[in-house]
Structure 1
Amino acid sequence: MNTLEGIFNPKSVAVIGASEIEGKVGQSVMKNLLNFKQHGGKVYPINKKYNEVYGIKCYGSVLDVPETPDLVIISIPAEYAVDAMEECGRKGVKAAIIITAGFAETNNHVLEDRLKAIIDQYGIRTIGPNCLGVINLHNHLNASFSKEFSNMGNIAFISQSGAIMTALLDIANYYNLGFSKIVSMGNKIDVQEYELLNYLENDPHTKVVALYIEGLKDEKFISAAKKISRKKPVIVLKSGKSEEGAKAASSHTGSLAGNNAVYDAAFKKSRVFNVESFEDLVNLLKIFSVQPPMKSKKLAVITNAGGFGVLAADSVEKCGLELADFSATTISELKKYLPDTSGISNPLDLIGDADVNRYKHAFELVENDPNVDGLLAILTPQGMTDALGVARELVKLKNYMICKKDKIPIVASFVGGTSVLEARSYLQEKGIPSFICPELAVHALACLYRQSHLMDKYDSPEYLNEIRSEIAEAKANNPEKIDELLANANESNSKEFLKLNGFAIPEKFVATTKEEAKEYAENLGKVVMKVVSADILHKSDAGCVIIDPSDASEAFETIMKNGEKYLFDRKIDGIIDGVLIEQFVTGKEIIIGAKRDPVFGPVVMTGLGGIFVEVLKDVSFGITPITKEYAGEILHSLKSYKILEGVRGENRSDIEFLKELIVRVGVLMETYDEISEIDINPAFIKEEGQGGFVGDALIITK
């Protein structure tokens, strides 16, 4: 029996705090459970004040109930709820929903810790506290104080906000959205989102999962979401994306890897649809809950308004879809029904005087075209337009496709106000999503197409495991050397550490006198000179970097002087170990960094490197573990990726080498817990097949 079965499929439910008094939470819960009772479930009211509630015998304590309830709902004040949970534990209860507020959300962490200890002691799977409750439409269980809700369907909704949950339930009637299971998470004292996703993965009543998230407690969400996403779309609306309050960090990675960027990376790795607004959430629910998969990118657009057809075409390109090329047969047949002024192209403009029959013939012919795998019908209200009649023809087409078992997604954009309201409502009622503008419709179809191809995306761990073995061997063979290097992680030592772990670094020396500086520079030829100090993190800012000096001795003295002034001005009691004399190398400048996120663990960043990285902010993040395929996805997310591929006659950069660097940095963070941040800025990437070098490196240890 699944550990969450008691929450979703109980045979008996006890309500601690049951009441008949209007306005009491216990009254709303009891009233909602009457339907569950009518369908064969057992309900046990618990309240010392009453002998019965709604005609059902009432008990003074859960300990007095003649059987152990499968589920207990608690709706009494917080200070009493803890003792009630203790009694539930003694009774052998294994599932609970704590609606009661007044715990951590009011800074009452002591009381919540006591509650958590009881839950852990007795192994009670618990939703809440401070939540609205749980609803399972398919077994008539409304274990919440939400108003009565009966839209049965295939959407599972998980929310940290009770208000957003009730708003979605209220809007469901308008958009004909039906739900399988609804969960208000509250403070998430026990059951987490990843466990709900694991449960819903094989739930036969759930086709699509939506979540409203304010924050996650650990990285397990990623693997659970990635697994279920191969079967069912998962849509996430995350709030709290502001960077306000984010702690300043020492490295470029730290300053760029804010809360929002890391969550975006986690959701991207999870293969979920990370939407930006409540409207986006609803729009995707509209299409995923009722439409079949979109097999290819090829979309047909039928419209009576040329302008909206153009807007749709723009969105098709922007969203990564394609306008289908109609077959010769389709074009020939369309000419029989369309006026001479109508151009036979895609978007197919039926002209402003299009009547129901013109739409009907266009729908039938385009749907039958083998080149078409999705249909968008656009309508604007004209004097001769029968919007409801066109809507009925679109529904007939949908039903015909269901009968012949050759379904393609159909969406509509009936653009207007009161004159198309009835038609839009009719479409929604019959399972055809209607969007207020074509752009939203195209975006929804693009998401439908993306979901249909997620099942084919698998990462290969072989290369990652090779790097893991290599780095583990280096760690085992060089324990004292590694401890010494990380104890004073200046640039030279950081690079030596990286070299031990398979990174390519330029030839270098550390000079402690101007005479040594001159000698080393003469040996290496063209060089770059930099201060060596773990206390001067950004050497350019300190005036401690000189490229190709004409006089290495003079450059040595300048760097030492500027470094000492930098430490003095900032009152840093630091050490300068000398000046790095390093072979001058070139290539595309890329930043690769890593830091530890408190929720998701090691996060790796890459992007355009050099001094402009914090200005342009063209960076992309990945959550470890990072495979070579995943590293490729991270790179593809960059706006500057085309530069790596080669533009204006430039040769392609060694992208495979860059992927290797990303994988290696991720493995270093997995292997060395003492490293809090890594900052390689820049890494110089040469032409394809020629590799590259670590140009500058900063390692920050705990």
Structure 2
Amino acid sequence: MVKFMSNGLEAIFNPKSVAVIGATEIEGKVGQSLMKNLKSFMEKGGNVYPINKKYDEVYGLKCYGSVLDVPGDIDLVLVSIPAKFVPGTMEECGKKGVKGSIIITAGFSEVGDHSLEEKTIEILKKYDIRTIGPNCLGVINMHDELNASFSKDFDQKGNIAFISQSGAIMTALMDISIPLNLGYSKIVSMGNKIDVQEDEILDYLADDEHTDVVVLYVEGLKNEKFIDSARALSHKKPVIVLKSGKSDAGAKAASSHTGSLAGNAQMYEAAFKKGMVFDVETFEEMVDLLKIFSTQPVMKGNNVGIITNAGGFGVLATDMVSKYGLKMAEFEEKTITELKKYLPDTSGVSNPLDLIGDADTDRYKHAFEELAKDSNVDGIVVILTPQGMTDDIGAAKELVKFQDALRAKGEAIPIVAAWVGGGSVAEGAEYLKEHEIPTFMCPELAVKALSATYQQYLNQNVVDDGEYLKKVQEEIYAIKAEKGDELRELLANPNENNAKEFLKINGVPTPGRYVATSVEEAVKYASTMDKVVMKVVSAQILHKSDAGCVLIAPTDIEGAYNTIIENGTQYLAQKGETGVIDGVLIEEFVEGKEIIIGGKKDEVFGPVIMTGLGGIFVEVMKDVTFGVHPITKNYAEDMLKQLRTYKILEGVRGEPKRDIEFIKELIVRVGVIMEAYDEIQEIDINPVFVKEDGKKGVIGDALIMTK
């Protein structure tokens, strides 16, 4: 992946002149579709130059043999010619001073021709031509009438920017947008991404006045910059990501717990959490979020008011409220008093507000109005089912009037609707969609979508505190500068003792320990401690328990030493390992709540840190969470709270609260250590024994894997 000197995306999204290389009038050719789609651009005053040596004229425009023959400047070129001609053509574009290009042509790395792609990259870099593609559908800037793609005609202007690595998913979403009344500001087909990456487009869209929500379909990212760009954008606008290829069936399991648990899906999940994006699982979920984010304001509190003419659906919606982190609003007394004036005695004035099966349009209207006045209500879910007295289209029109009135007064709160049923409620549901009220087939989906707007409000108000992180970084780099030779020597033979010594020098608390190389030394060292743990010291025996090389609180130190040496020697022989046993570790026996902290260098995102409760929670439940470095204390706390077993750390059933602050600090420190030492590929600290609150903790075992 090449990093160019300038951003320069204006030439791609807002060109004044476009050249189509491979232009033609032959039906079915990409060059013909590109020319036809540029009609609106020309009508708005843009200059279009067909390039094709075969023709003198294309669609009434003078056709040139090369971009070098065009008399005026060219901002953007659309390239649709056989792949083998692309490098030479881009060389001509560079000499012409072209600023941007969209290479539609396929036939590069996606079919195994990496050399052709690399040659093209060299030329683009040489002339600093910002490029989308190759192997893509193109780019559409809806509000500037630029359709620089070969998609079919599309005219759904709106506030959604869509970035896609798949042309098919791009066209599918565009097609489904018409009946759903979704509109777009910009649409980008990324292709092979030899130049422009997603993070640059996110940066560009941050200040785009036509874009209020950004959605991406991602198959893979090429660098970690996406995280910072997404996080910065999420402070302003919601970012939705649908990632495919999350399964990791073909990946090789690493030797540490961290490596074996940190698959492709886990890496991307951690990256997306840090980027504060909405990491959706399905195409349907992606569309649901587009429906609400493109039409509704964020929910500035988590209190929901539910209006329904069906008690059962009201209960279903209520169940979802707590599931998605929201609360049922408690209506103010004045709200209850006013509602009683319009509701029958059989209607319980509570939340969910059941209007009863015979609810007419007026009953819905008054319910809308009263809940909107209630300061305890931050968002409204409106449910309607087919009933004899209920006019679905009438209720829909009243809801739209209600929304428009709120917007006119600048008092808008998010509203979602569930017109539940088939043909008998279809007209009302369609009316709501046409007037920008997101409508769902069931209340559960409506509540889920509404909860996303509250999460977006929280995203916009996140404050990153990096003071402690900066302090640890300064400390670790100072230690490296002062003791670099000693630390490199320890990493050259990262057995458990050396790994612990390396970590101790870098501020990680370790238990008292000695390495015995004889029975006599083992007995002498053990006599200085009340209770000991004895373990083999060998960089080649990673899982010491499996080798029978760990003994806890042995009473016969001499026998324990001999057993560990014999078992270790047999283990290496059975495994066919060429290894060295450096001795037996005699270590102080410590106790505490066991957790695991590990780190792994990911090829895309860099150091990724894992944590979770140790023991059964790692081996069986796999209750772990991942974070992408750099990790602040706040971020570390968020990681811990994602654990299903977090409450155990807070203290349950008479157990004391553990020193969570110590865990957070250790997570931050491990991330900085991974950052500071390029040769470290994995760190596995398992277990960490965490003491009671305020008493910190100490590591029990450590594994460091280097290049």
Q: What amino acid does structure 2 have at the position aligned with 1:629?
A: N
How far apart are 1:305 and its partner, in Å? 1.1
Q: What amino acid does structure 2 have at the position aligned with 1:97?
A: I
Moved more, 482-491 or 603-612: 603-612
8 Å Cα contact 2:7/2:200 also seen in 1? no
| 2:337 alignment counterpart | 332
Distance 1:645 1:186 in 2: 48
Q: What amino acid does structure 1 have at the position aligned with 2:658?
A: S
Is 1:225 matched up with 2:230?
Answer: yes
8 Å Cα contact 1:17/1:45 also seen in 2? yes
Is 1:556 matched up with 2:561?
Answer: yes
With normalisation by structure 2, the TM-score equals 0.98
Q: 1:450 aligns with which of 448, 455, 458?
A: 455
| 2:40 alignment counterpart | 35
8 Å Cα contact 1:532/1:577 also seen in 2? yes
8 Å Cα contact 2:371/2:377 also seen in 1? yes
| 1:145 alignment counterpart | 150
How far apart are 1:563 and its partner, in Å? 1.0
After superposition, the C-alpha distances for 1:617-657 in whole angstroms (9 at most, x for unaligned) are 11111111111111111111111111111111221100000
Q: What amino acid does structure 1 have at the position aligned with 2:201?
A: L
Q: 1:130 aligns with which of 124, 135, 155?
A: 135
Distance 2:675 2:367 in 1: 58
Distance 2:23 2:622 in 1: 55
How far apart are 1:522 and its partner, in Å? 2.1
How far apart are 1:58 and its partner, in Å? 1.1
SS at match of 2:416: strand
After superposition, the C-alpha distances for 1:112-135 in whole angstroms (9 at most, x for unaligned) are 111111111111000000000000
8 Å Cα contact 1:165/1:184 also seen in 2? yes
- Give the alignment of 1:32-431 within 5 angstroms: 32-431=37-436
How far apart are 1:612 and its partner, in Å? 4.9
Pick closer, same or farther for the CA change 1:355–1:222 going to 2, 3 Å. same
After superposition, the C-alpha distances for 1:552-591 in whole angstroms (9 at most, x for unaligned) are 1111111111111111111001111111111111111010
Q: What amino acid does structure 2 have at the position aligned with 1:604?
A: I
| 1:20 alignment counterpart | 25
After superposition, the C-alpha distances for 1:392-442 in whole angstroms (9 at most, x for unaligned) are 111011011012211111110111112222211110110100011111111
Distance 2:498 2:85 in 1: 59
SS at match of 1:538: coil
| 1:494 alignment counterpart | 499
SS at match of 2:527: helix
8 Å Cα contact 1:378/1:412 also seen in 2? yes
Is 1:568 matched up with 2:569?
Answer: no
Distance 1:465 1:327 in 2: 47
The unaligned stretches of length 5 or more in structure 2 are 1-5
Q: What amino acid does structure 2 have at the position aligned with 1:635?
A: L
Distance 1:490 1:531 in 2: 9
Moved more, 73-82 or 264-273: 73-82
Q: What amino acid does structure 2 have at the position aligned with 1:203?
A: D
| 1:639 alignment counterpart | 644
Distance 2:329 2:47 in 1: 56
How far apart are 1:611 and its partner, in Å? 5.8
SS at match of 2:153: coil
8 Å Cα contact 1:527/1:584 also seen in 2? yes
| 1:434 alignment counterpart | 439
| 2:519 alignment counterpart | 514
Is 1:695 matched up with 2:700?
Answer: yes
Q: What amino acid does structure 2 have at the position aligned with 1:439?
A: E
Q: What amino acid does structure 2 have at the position aligned with 1:660?
A: E
After superposition, the C-alpha distances for 1:63-91 in whole angstroms (9 at most, x for unaligned) are 11111211100111111222211111111
After superposition, the C-alpha distances for 1:681-702 in whole angstroms (9 at most, x for unaligned) are 0000001000000110001111
8 Å Cα contact 1:334/1:344 also seen in 2? yes
Distance 2:361 2:546 in 1: 70
Q: 1:650 aligns with which of 646, 655, 680?
A: 655
Q: What amino acid does structure 2 have at the position aligned with 1:109?
A: H
Q: 1:580 aligns with which of 581, 585, 588?
A: 585
SS at match of 1:247: coil
| 1:7 alignment counterpart | 12
After superposition, the C-alpha distances for 1:267-295 in whole angstroms (9 at most, x for unaligned) are 10011111111111111111111101211
Moved more, 646-655 or 679-688: 646-655
Is 1:485 matched up with 2:490?
Answer: yes
Distance 1:421 1:495 in 2: 67
How far apart are 1:2 and its partner, in Å? 5.9
SS at match of 1:337: coil
Distance 1:70 1:681 in 2: 57
SS at match of 1:478: helix
Moved more, 518-527 or 119-128: 518-527
Distance 1:372 1:670 in 2: 46
Moved more, 602-611 or 255-264: 602-611
SS at match of 2:341: helix
Distance 1:113 1:307 in 2: 61
Q: What amino acid does structure 2 have at the position aligned with 1:241?
A: K
Is 1:626 matched up with 2:631?
Answer: yes
Moved more, 523-532 or 468-477: 468-477
Q: What amino acid does structure 1 have at the position aligned with 2:332?
A: S
Distance 2:375 2:626 in 1: 40
8 Å Cα contact 2:231/2:275 also seen in 1? yes
How far apart are 1:253 and its partner, in Å? 0.5
8 Å Cα contact 1:527/1:548 also seen in 2? yes
How far apart are 1:326 and its partner, in Å? 0.6
8 Å Cα contact 1:256/1:614 also seen in 2? no
Across the aligned residues of Structure 1 and Structure 2, the Cα RMSD in angstroms comes to 1.1
How far apart are 1:462 and its partner, in Å? 1.5
After superposition, the C-alpha distances for 1:296-338 in whole angstroms (9 at most, x for unaligned) are 0011000111111111111100100111001111111111211
Pick closer, same or farther for the CA change 1:612–1:430 going to 2, 3 Å. closer
Residue correspondences, number = 702
Distance 2:615 2:416 in 1: 46
With normalisation by structure 1, the TM-score equals 0.99
Q: What amino acid does structure 2 have at the position aligned with 1:492?
A: N
8 Å Cα contact 1:126/1:191 also seen in 2? yes
Distance 2:298 2:465 in 1: 26
8 Å Cα contact 2:105/2:136 also seen in 1? yes
| 1:544 alignment counterpart | 549
Distance 2:172 2:404 in 1: 31
